[in-house]
Structure 1
């Protein structure tokens, strides 16, 4: 890939807080797709006082695309990094520092030059790391909810509070998944089918109850590959779905979104109380008798897992999706630790 030398030098000057006059580089793809690519850029930088410093920096290039119900999400991360949201984080829970951001309106594309975080992520996260992430998320959301810093009112490009609800209703109205679990051809276990049918029956009243919960700033993609544990702290990447949501949405993602299936029930039991403990440091949650995380998991991931099950030809993936649904079923009768 081709990188403009002046852009690289600008980003590295901000990273090292000194003037960089030249730099060589190599690039390695970290992840990529049709609308966005992330690269690790490494090399050696020369400063104005002739020092040579090895560096690592992440380049994220995002092109315009449209997410269902959230058309401006493609540029949200650029907008958030251009705001003062970074001032709301703590040392224990934050996003990567941004050293340079630029947007090309003509090409509908932006670049972010970000801090490289070296740590544990994905399915390598341990139960203690899950629990810490839940606790720190609760503290972050609780503090913003209680303090209402002015920066929250200045954020214009956030996903809407009803995104979760509308996404569920969209799935529920889709015959491919709705009719399948009710059909004679359905090969899912009976208890799983009944679990999904039951949540549909009670969804309206459950959603009404959830909508009485505190409205908090949600990451909305709070799953293991976006979490990095480093030196006892949590760094959170990929903020393009960030927006207003209800208490517990992000914890539902942490537990159920392509997570560690064998430990899902254990992490449900551990992470829910850790999350509420963190939130309660700043806000009183005593009026909430039922946290609804189990229901949120079903509303957010029940039909999505059925969709994934139906649209893969890989038998091992089918088995994984069924296993995930079965673990969600087990959560219903699994007490959350106090």
Structure 2
């Protein structure tokens, strides 16, 4: 850590313990079980003792670092810079009545472009994978977030606006079509008619984009998967604001319901029975903040956002063709058979959403 970063950390700790200045002792870092996704980003728990006015005050916080462009790829540096800018702008200080981000205690940008955020440590009051109650509470609160920001200008240059391409992956469509059209016997045995439906969905991605672009837009987290969703003191706390930007109502609900199952942050057998209840919960939160919002837009936004994720079926088909055991990243102990059951249910939910979108 550079001298400037060490000075910034001392100021962050002083802010965290509500003192004008502190001297740090016994500073330690613990690695966290965090889905860093790419190299050159790290999230650790940093803690120690602060000396202030004769008092010894224990402290802890989360340190999130993203290396500069000399090491990290542009995708990663863009994300790190975006979250840094979101905190610096003040946007994350007043998101919605029941949604907040971790408090920022301090930040630093080093000479090589490395960014550091020192954030409040959040403890989740629920279970993981997410249970039904937590999913419904988060759905309601995400609706409130959408209602608070719907219709407001969201044109800051650092905001993320490429979320449709990130999910629909147009550069991968040709290979995806080839995978589902091969009709490999092992794949057909597991997916059957789903392959034809997946092919139609890939070809219909321009129509899905059109539906999403026509919907009312609001502020979206764009990665509200279970691993980033915490329940704390009766509110939803969302971490990892690296993809924050405009998006249609219902988009974050798709992350919560569909992407969480894909990653292993929730079970398809929990999500499937409460899907309609989750839509209603999101719509209720939306209406509390914006009574004039069209509730039908919630379902359209959810379905179309789920339909963007066509690569789910292709990835499962590709794995079956190669003889790989299906995996969900957040559940390394899950058996291949358990993962396959979950993913097949999720594919069915997604294809049903796509049918409603394109009807």
TM-score (norm 2): 0.80
What's the CA shift for 1:291? 2.1
Select which of 60, 63, 72 maps to 1:59. 63
In structure 2, stretches of 5+ residues that fail to align are 328-335, 354-359
Cα RMSD after superposing both structures: 3.0
Task: Indicate how the Cα distance of structure 1 residues 309 and 212 shifts in structure 2: closer, same or farther if over 3 A, else same.
Answer: same
Residue 112 of structure 1 aligns to a residue whose secondary structure is strand
Alignment partner of 1:329 is 2:336: no
Task: Indicate how the Cα distance of structure 1 residues 82 and 120 shifts in structure 2: closer, same or farther if over 3 A, else same.
Answer: same
Count residues in correspondence. 325
- Contact persistence 1:93–1:234 (CA under 8 A): yes
Alignment partner of 1:291 is 2:300: yes
Task: Indicate how the Cα distance of structure 1 residues 325 and 51 shifts in structure 2: closer, same or farther if over 3 A, else same.
Answer: same
Residue 193 of structure 2 aligns to a residue whose secondary structure is helix
Task: Indicate how the Cα distance of structure 1 residues 5 and 272 shifts in structure 2: closer, same or farther if over 3 A, else same.
Answer: same
The corresponding residue for 2:256 is: 254
What's the CA shift for 1:131? 0.9
- Contact persistence 1:121–1:224 (CA under 8 A): no
Offset from partner CA, 1:126-184 (integer Å, 9 cap, x none): 211111111111111211115x37xx45x320111x53146415155331x22111112
What's the CA shift for 1:121? 6.4
The corresponding residue for 1:237 is: 239
Task: Indicate how the Cα distance of structure 1 residues 7 and 306 shifts in structure 2: closer, same or farther if over 3 A, else same.
Answer: same
Q: Map residues 1-338 of structure 1 onto 2, 5 A cutoff.
A: 5-18=6-19, 19-30=21-32, 31=34, 32=36, 33-47=38-52, 49-64=53-68, 65-66=72-73, 72-90=78-96, 92-104=98-110, 106-120=111-125, 123-146=128-151, 148=152, 152-153=154-155, 155-160=156-161, 162-165=162-165, 167-168=167-168, 170=170, 173-175=173-175, 177-185=176-184, 187=187, 188-257=190-259, 258=263, 259-281=266-288, 282-286=290-294, 288=296, 291-300=300-309, 302-304=310-312, 306-307=314-315, 310=318, 314-317=324-327, 319=337, 320=339, 323-330=342-349
Task: Indicate how the Cα distance of structure 1 residues 88 and 309 shifts in structure 2: closer, same or farther if over 3 A, else same.
Answer: farther
